[in-house]
Structure 1
Amino acid sequence: MSLSAENLIAIRRQLHRIPEIGMEEFETQALLLKIIRAMPQAFLQIKTWKTAILVHVQGSQARYTIGYRTDIDGLPVTEETGLPFSSQHPGKMHACGHDIHMTVALGILSYFAEHQPLANLVFIFQPAEENASGGKQLYEAGALDEWMPDEIYAFHDNPQLPAGVIGCRQGTLFAGTCEIHAKFIGKSGHAAFPQNAKDMVVAGAAFVTQIQTIVSRNLDPIQAGVVTLGHFNAGTVGNVIAGTAQIDGTIRALTQEINLKIQQRVRTIAESIAAGFECQLELDLHQGGYYPVENDPQTTKSFISYMENTPGVAYQETQPAMTGEDFGFLLSKIPGTMFWLGVESPYSLHSEHLAPKEGAIIKGVTAMIGFLKQRQIEIKSK
């Protein structure tokens, strides 16, 4: 029997109690496998890769494969919700709602475990979305090769949308991100003798100042990008010239082209600062798998049409967000669509107080089962 709303809420609470950091989701994987193996197995094949789980649902007319991805990791956040099913893992929490993501995926899977689909379906329970580009790792390891989807779908919960509302848009949903780690290495010295030192506070300050010109002077004003430097560490005491400066930040852009352009400007500026201040530079621009989440035009047109025109589904067009998501890497390889599921909370994603409304779960499950059934009919008729 397909998982009921009550079953799903109970599962979500079990998952919420056991958040784990990316690539360490052993307890989560074990619970997911237990639930999946309790479903009818006639159409299912299950395999694992590290802490990931892949479930193949055999279609009755298997000419096409549709993927559905959910992330499974938590965050290094100490929960402050006061819920009776709060995290039992100190210093860890499902503060980004991945427990909701997993539960919706299980609800959809339980339906198709009992009702054989026309197309093949592949459910991807992916680790390390938050910290280690788990989607990129899984893809590049070849874990998907046997069951490579022809198109793929995923969602992220959204505290700003009413519970159960589906949000989507054509084009970019989430920004691509890139970490900036810059270390300038000069020579420390006495404050009274600056000529004998190479001051990395001044070099770092010049870097911070010049970085601010990238968005304002290197990008088309109608193109979106953000460069934020959130960490600057240099020196020890006020009368000693700092010999090193460590500066860390992030790049956000709505297209990969703009992200790469900003990365190049960061590199050029950093290298120019190092040359000008006669110091060494260690620069790491790390994007990993956090590409922009750029929705495919055709799959997204089909998705939006279904959600807009189906009674009982509340749909809302949303604006792009500068948050990052490693589903962008999978979308760079496989056409597909990412969407929002409203969970209505006064607290933001990653907040220690985030408590999504659980009524969104069954609404998300119902909407996606309906869409996947409709999508398979569309594909069959082509």
Structure 2
Amino acid sequence: MTVWTKNDLIAIRRKLHQIPEIGLEEFETHEYLMQKINELPQEQIEVKEWKTAIVVKVKGTSPSKTIGWRTDIDGLPIKEETGLDFSSTHPGKMHACGHDMHMTVALGLLQEIVNQKPKNDFVFLFQPAEENESGGKLVYEYGLLDDCLPDEFYGLHVQPFLPVGTIGTRVGTLFAGTCEIQAHFTGKGGHAAFPHESNDMIIAATEFVQQAQTIVSRNVNPIEGAVVTFGTFEAGTTNNVIAGSAHVSGTIRTLTQSMNELTQKRIRQIAEGIAVSFQCQLDMTLTQKGYLPVENNPETTKNFMDFMRHYAAINLIETEPAMTGEDFGYLLSKIPGTMFWLGVDSPYGLHHEKMMPKEEAIEIGVQAISAFFAELDKK
């Protein structure tokens, strides 16, 4: 029997924090995770790998169902500025979204389940590329879960602005679905003194950005929610040259997939209309990948919330939907399950270069979730 103490788990988290890697390049992370998984009793588990993904099946003694847990393993292209003595050793990369915490909780939970010798099968997915390539969709479509598909799936995300010991979730939509916008307008550049001989793409792209804002105000039901945000606008070379091309990029965030599809449709219609009115060429891509809304299943979520309400170490709260994106939404569109926030009480938020979750949240998370899984295993 392998027993990792609270200090062992903190040491694991700190090691993972030092080696953040971008999605589908998590080679050192994969190697370290396999090292820890290999410390567990091997007769109880089966391990499969694909690219940097790892699936660990814990074999039950008399299984009637399969219970799944998912963690993401990638980092972000952010330069860390925490000043911690275990800061990232990979320049320009950081676990600023807390995936180091996610992985540590998953390993601790895996160890607990193995030691419990469960009746049912359990499957742990260590998933790459949550931040950039929708690794959950890639893993599912490859078929890595085909012979061990969970009947119900669970996962968490750390929440810096909730106290340690708090879990937050809700039935229905927890996180938004996202879609990335790339729009390139190409016309005819020229001298600033002769605008009639040119086709100004700064004006065209500006009109597109402005008109896109009417989608939320005039096409979205006020009772529902949607966000259209543009983060980059690139055009021109100098002050006295009319730009012959312009590129803008942005994101769509919606709480339902139908609203995401409507917003995508209107974005494309507006861009195509701009191209006609300015007599220019349009090259547009709308990319959603697997970033569907995270829709918590009513039954699994009610069971989870009922359990956590009575678990002494946890303060359960019902949270509002958030416009953050998460590719666990793709897996939950295939398999019923629940995602929730785990409070880690950081003074800085997600994706911040100084994000510092409190490590005592690790043991609390492991103990609470393993207790919930032990209860599920009895049913």
Question: Deviation of residue 192 (structure 1)?
Answer: 2.3
1:9 is matched by which residue type in structure 2?
Answer: I
Q: Distance in 2 between matches of 1:261 and 1:336?
A: 26
Question: Deviation of residue 42 (structure 1)?
Answer: 2.2
Q: Residue in 2 aligned with 1:369?
A: 370
Cα deviation 1:187-223 (Å, max 9, x = unaligned)? 1112222222111111111101100100000011010
Q: Report whether the alignment pairs 1:87 with 2:83.
A: no
TM-score using structure 1 length: 0.97
1:303 is matched by which residue type in structure 2?
Answer: F
Check the 8 A contact 1:54/1:122 in 2, yes or no. yes
Question: Deviation of residue 376 (structure 1)?
Answer: 2.3
Q: Residue in 2 aligned with 1:187?
A: 188
Q: Distance in 1 between matches of 2:70 and 2:369?
A: 12
Q: Residue in 1 aligned with 2:126?
A: 125
Q: Residue in 1 aligned with 2:338?
A: 337
Q: Report whether the alignment pairs 1:138 with 2:143.
A: no
Question: Deviation of residue 118 (structure 1)?
Answer: 1.6
Q: Distance in 2 between matches of 1:238 and 1:300?
A: 57
1:33 is matched by which residue type in structure 2?
Answer: M
Residues matched between the structures, number: 378
Q: Distance in 1 between matches of 2:39 and 2:53?
A: 18
Supply the RMSD in Å over aligned alpha carbons.
0.9
Range moving further from structure 2, 209-218 or 312-321: 312-321
Q: Distance in 2 between matches of 1:259 and 1:64?
A: 34
Unpaired runs of at least 5, structure 2: none
1:185 is matched by which residue type in structure 2?
Answer: T
Question: Deviation of residue 3 (structure 1)?
Answer: 1.8
Percent identity (aligned): 59
What are the equivalent positions in structure 2 for 1:262-281 lying under 5 Å apart? 262-281=263-282
Question: Deviation of residue 47 (structure 1)?
Answer: 1.1
Q: Distance in 1 between matches of 2:172 and 2:128?
A: 26
Cα deviation 1:138-180 (Å, max 9, x = unaligned)? 1111111111111100000000000131111111111111100
Question: Aligned with 1:48: secondary structure?
Answer: strand
Question: Deviation of residue 236 (structure 1)?
Answer: 1.4
Question: Aligned with 1:28: secondary structure?
Answer: helix
Q: Residue in 2 aligned with 1:155?
A: 156
Q: Distance in 1 between matches of 2:316 and 2:7?
A: 24
Q: Residue in 1 aligned with 2:314?
A: 313
Q: Residue in 1 aligned with 2:228?
A: 227
Cα deviation 1:226-277 (Å, max 9, x = unaligned)? 0001111111122221110101110000111111110000000000000111
Q: Distance in 1 between matches of 2:122 and 2:3?
A: 16
Q: Distance in 2 between matches of 1:88 and 1:209?
A: 42
Cα deviation 1:65-101 (Å, max 9, x = unaligned)? 1110000011111111111111111111111110000
Question: Aligned with 1:130: secondary structure?
Answer: coil
Q: Distance in 2 between matches of 1:258 and 1:104?
A: 34
Unpaired runs of at least 5, structure 1: none
Check the 8 A contact 2:165/2:313 in 1, yes or no. no
Check the 8 A contact 1:41/1:113 in 2, yes or no. no
Q: Residue in 2 aligned with 1:198?
A: 199
Q: Report whether the alignment pairs 1:6 with 2:7.
A: yes
Q: Residue in 1 aligned with 2:261?
A: 260
Structure 1 segments (4+ residues) deviating >4 Å: none
Q: Residue in 2 aligned with 1:213?
A: 214
Q: Distance in 2 between matches of 1:321 and 1:173?
A: 6
Q: Distance in 2 between matches of 1:238 and 1:6?
A: 59
Q: Residue in 1 aligned with 2:329?
A: 328
Check the 8 A contact 1:173/1:320 in 2, yes or no. yes
Check the 8 A contact 1:2/1:107 in 2, yes or no. no
Question: Deviation of residue 59 (structure 1)?
Answer: 1.1
Question: Aligned with 2:300: secondary structure?
Answer: helix
Q: Distance in 2 between matches of 1:164 and 1:20?
A: 28
Question: Aligned with 2:12: secondary structure?
Answer: helix
Check the 8 A contact 2:186/2:280 in 1, yes or no. yes
Cα deviation 1:272-327 (Å, max 9, x = unaligned)? 00011111100000111111111011100111110112222221111111111111
1:38 is matched by which residue type in structure 2?
Answer: E
1:113 is matched by which residue type in structure 2?
Answer: V
